[in-house]
């Protein structure tokens, strides 16, 4: 896959891969910007799956909620192509963590976009943010040590 040859994806412990769908392109012949945020969402979800977050949240009703996200578009994506979205946590605070994403195009063998996401730990019982549970912090640290 693109990116691994030059080490672009090596620092991302979770990689989400997907083909570009014809229907993701807009009238100008490239992937519409909204889909990049869907790619980030899918990669973030894969990271949460690796953390065991969905099971933890089902047991405790302590989960996460996306606070904010951003994207820097570097190259247009087009059909046909396949992308790899690397995801990692770059900063952990008492009640939140910051994620970074990189979208790598197989066809172009280059970075198509880079993004960030701020994720807040959320108590769904009380409908408010809360301190990050130790188990959650430990799972992030374990995933990030693998890089």
pLDDT in tens, 48-105: 999 999 999 999 999 999 999 999 999 999 999 999 999 999 999 999 999 999 999 9
Can you tell me the distance from the alpha carbon of 119 to that of 66, in angstroms, rounded to the nearest whole number?
5
**111 within 8 A of 85, measured Cβ to Cβ:** no
Q: Is the pLDDT of residue 1 over 50?
A: no
Quote the tokens at residue 101: 């994403």
Q: What are phi and psi of 71, to 5 degrees?
A: -145, 135
For 90-136, how does the pLDDT look when each residue is reduced to its tens digit (9 = 90+)? Answer: 999 999 999 999 999 999 999 999 999 999 999 999 999 999 999 99
Q: For position 93, what pLDDT does the model report? A: 98
Prediction pTM value: 0.93
Which position has the higher pLDDT, 84 or 147? 84
Q: At what angle do helices 33-51 and 134-145 cross, to 10 degrees?
A: 110
CA-nearest of 52, 45, 49 to 119 is: 45
For 10-47, how does the pLDDT look when each residue is reduced to its tens digit (9 = 90+)? Answer: 999 999 999 999 999 999 999 999 999 999 999 999 99
């Amino acid at each position: 896959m693109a990116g691994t040859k030059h080490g672009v994806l090596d620092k991302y412990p979770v990689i989400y891969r997907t083909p570009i769908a014809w229907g993701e392109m807009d009238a100008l012949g490239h992937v519409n910007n909204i889909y990049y945020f869907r790619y980030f969402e899918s990669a973030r979800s894969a990271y949460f799956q690796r953390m065991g977050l969905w099971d933890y949240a089902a047991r405790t009703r302590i989960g996460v909620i996306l606070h904010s996200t951003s994207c820097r578009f570097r190259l247009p994506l087009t059909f046909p192509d396949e992308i790899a979205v690397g995801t990692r946590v770059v900063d952990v605070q008492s009640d939140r963590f910051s994620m970074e994403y990189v979208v790598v195009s197989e066809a172009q063998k280059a970075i198509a976009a880079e993004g960030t996401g701020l994720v807040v730990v959320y108590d769904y019982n009380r409908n408010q943010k809360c301190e990050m549970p130790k188990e959650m912090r430990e799972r992030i640290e374990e995933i990030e040590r693998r890089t």
